[in-house]
């Protein structure tokens, strides 16, 4: 009887662990995008600054988000992944609360830098835990990715509502408090792992072990690695450009639709204290949350068909809908945005899937860290691009540029092998496949 109860307890503990990791992914993306809605809907008026000028103060935060990924992954491999997750929850929460008290653009820029530095912990550490602990990697990453996408969607919705209900400062402070509380729950759940002595690193985790790879396998690994980092950079450019600019895009292109729905809600007594900021947040949330479920489909397809076919389709979808966005407004703009976000969200787990299958467990956090240095540094570079293109030519030109980036991603993905090869070195026996 005791073993059964113990097994049930461990299963329950395992589920809660995965849930808290997913909540962490949601919060991670929410914190990085709160400022996008605050800048678009409030600070342009409150601080009398243009949208393009405000974006400059978010750039250091995204640079930190990228550049600190590698050292955070290294620290997790050397110290304790579970401990680093606690540092993430508490650290990013405190940084967000402090940002909510900023009195100038320079102060908010510094606060966003610290938010980015703490947020950099999640991807190299959280994803390493997910890919090393559970089977069905593609689906696990997809579920985890959907939670992250709800963070992207929720940033606009929660921020817009808190702006209308309280102020833009509450949009930073309230999620910060929530993150600290989740961090305390995570520490209690994982206390045995946090306090246990470090284990000897296993070299049996992951397909690439010690020993020598045959020359053809080395060449294949190098080819896949180059493609993975190219597609990571391009997909990050696309994702950042779309997720950061959509609140402003909807603010400009849905004035009639937003006002009509808000008027109807007020007439029925359902609006409460909601205003146009809330409506922009609602439309952004709908697009992002619906599109996020593309990752569940992609996760299942990755386990069944491999990354090449799935990546090509995701890129093709984006090419089509980016080309349709210029000139779109009102309801049509929402439909087209949903179309390209289906592709943008769907592509997210593909590179992580490849790394999880190819990287050794011992160095997985560091490899994810290197991947996210590329990805999130590209995110930071996307902000000056958005600022410059928007200031000079508007959003239509931005979407033409994103269509070109999607073409490059499609060409790179087409060079992947149909299936990821077994790169087990000749010095070690080939592992059995389930």
Domains of the chain: 10-193+214-414 (1.20.1250.20)
| Residue predicted with more confidence, 72 or 4 | 72
Contact indicator for 109, 47 with CB cutoff of 8 Å: no
Contact indicator for 238, 402 with CB cutoff of 8 Å: yes
Share of the chain above pLDDT 90, in %: 17
Statement: residue 429 has pLDDT above 60: no
Q: What tens digit of pLDDT does each residue of 298-320 get?
A: 877 877 777 788 888 888 999 99
Statement: residue 85 has pLDDT above 60: yes
**For tokens 């386990």, what's the residue?**
303
Contact indicator for 211, 430 with CB cutoff of 8 Å: no
Contact indicator for 413, 348 with CB cutoff of 8 Å: no
The helix, strand and coil proportions of the chain, stated in percent and rounded to the nearest 5, come to 80, 0, 20
* Residues 197, 233: Cα–Cα separation, whole Å: 37
Q: What is the pLDDT of residue 88?
A: 94
| Cβ-based burial of 216 (10 A; exposed 0-12, middle 13-18, buried ≥19) | exposed
Q: What is the pLDDT of residue 86?
A: 92
Q: Which residues contact 290 (CB under 8 A, 6 or more apart)?
A: 338
Statement: residue 173 has pLDDT above 90: yes
Which two tokens mark 390?
A: 């928007």
Share of the chain above pLDDT 70, in %: 79
Statement: residue 343 has pLDDT above 90: no
Contact indicator for 243, 156 with CB cutoff of 8 Å: no
Statement: residue 220 has pLDDT above 80: no
CB atoms under 10 Å from CB of 290, counted, come to 15
CB atoms under 10 Å from CB of 155, counted, come to 31
Statement: residue 216 has pLDDT above 90: no
The band of 166, judged by pLDDT with boundaries at 50, 70 and 90, is: confident
* Residues 221, 53: Cα–Cα separation, whole Å: 43
Written as one string, the DSSP assignment of 65-102 is HHHTHHHHHHHHHHS-HHHHHHHHHHHHHHHHHHHTT-
Provide the whole-model pTM.
Answer: 0.67
Statement: residue 383 has pLDDT above 90: no
Q: What tens digit of pLDDT does each residue of 11-53 get?
A: 788 788 889 999 999 999 899 888 877 876 678 777 877 777 7
Range name among 109-123, 141-155, 210-224, 390-404 with the lowest pLDDT average: 210-224
The band of 366, judged by pLDDT with boundaries at 50, 70 and 90, is: low
**For tokens 């093709």, what's the residue?**
316
Contact indicator for 423, 360 with CB cutoff of 8 Å: no
Please compute the mean of the pLDDT values over residues 378-401 and round it to a whole number.
Answer: 80
Q: Could you give the angle at which helices 81-99 and 69-78 cross, rounded to 10 degrees?
A: 140
The band of 428, judged by pLDDT with boundaries at 50, 70 and 90, is: very low
Statement: residue 426 has pLDDT above 50: no
Contact indicator for 146, 348 with CB cutoff of 8 Å: no
């Amino acid at each position: 009887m005791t073993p059964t109860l113990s097994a049930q307890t461990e299963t329950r503990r395992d589920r809660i662990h995965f849930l808290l990791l997913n909540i962490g992914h949601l919060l991670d993306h929410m914190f990085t995008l709160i400022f996008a809605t605050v800048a678009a809907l409030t600070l342009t008026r409150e601080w009398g600054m243009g949208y393009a000028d405000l974006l400059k103060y978010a750039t250091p935060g995204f640079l930190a988000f990228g550049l600190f990924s590698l050292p955070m992954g290294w620290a997790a491999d050397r110290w304790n992944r579970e401990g680093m997750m606690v540092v993430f929850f508490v650290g990013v929460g405190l940084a967000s609360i402090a940002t909510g008290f900023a009195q100038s653009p320079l102060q908010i820029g510094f606060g966003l830098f610290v938010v980015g530095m703490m947020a950099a912990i999640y991807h190299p550490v959280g994803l390493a835990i997910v890919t090393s602990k559970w089977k069905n990697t593609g689906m696990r990453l997809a579920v985890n990715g959907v939670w992250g996408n709800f963070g992207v969607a929720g940033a606009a919705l929660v921020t817009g509502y808190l702006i209308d209900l309280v102020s833009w400062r509450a949009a930073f402070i309230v999620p910060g408090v929530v993150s600290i509380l989740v961090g305390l729950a995570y520490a209690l759940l994982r206390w045995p792992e946090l306090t246990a002595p470090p284990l000897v690193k296993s070299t049996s985790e992951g397909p690439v072990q010690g020993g020598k790879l045959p020359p053809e396998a080395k060449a294949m690994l190098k080819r896949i690695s180059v493609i993975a980092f190219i597609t990571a950079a391009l997909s990050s450019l696309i994702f950042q450009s779309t997720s950061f600019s959509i609140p402003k895009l909807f603010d400009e292109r849905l004035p009639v639709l937003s006002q009509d729905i808000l008027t109807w809600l007020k007439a029925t007594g359902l609006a409460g204290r909601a205003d146009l900021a809330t409506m922009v947040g609602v439309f952004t949330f709908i697009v992002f949350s619906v599109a996020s479920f593309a990752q569940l489909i992609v996760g299942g397809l990755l386990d069944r068909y491999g990354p090449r076919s799935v990546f090509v389709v995701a890129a093709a979808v984006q090419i089509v809908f980016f080309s349709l966005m210029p000139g779109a407004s009102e309801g049509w703009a929402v439909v087209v945005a949903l179309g390209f976000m289906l592709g943008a969200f769907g592509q997210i787990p593909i590179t992580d899937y490849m790394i999880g299958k190819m990287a050794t467990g011992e160095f997985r956090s560091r490899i994810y860290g290197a991947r996210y240095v590329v990805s999130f540094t590209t995110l930071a570079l996307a902000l000056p691009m958005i600022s410059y293109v928007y200031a000079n030519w508007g959003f239509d030109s931005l979407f033409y540029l994103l269509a070109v980036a999607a073409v490059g991603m499609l060409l790179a993905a087409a060079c992947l092998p149909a299936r990821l090869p077994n790169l087990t070195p000749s010095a070690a026996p080939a592992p059995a496949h389930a």
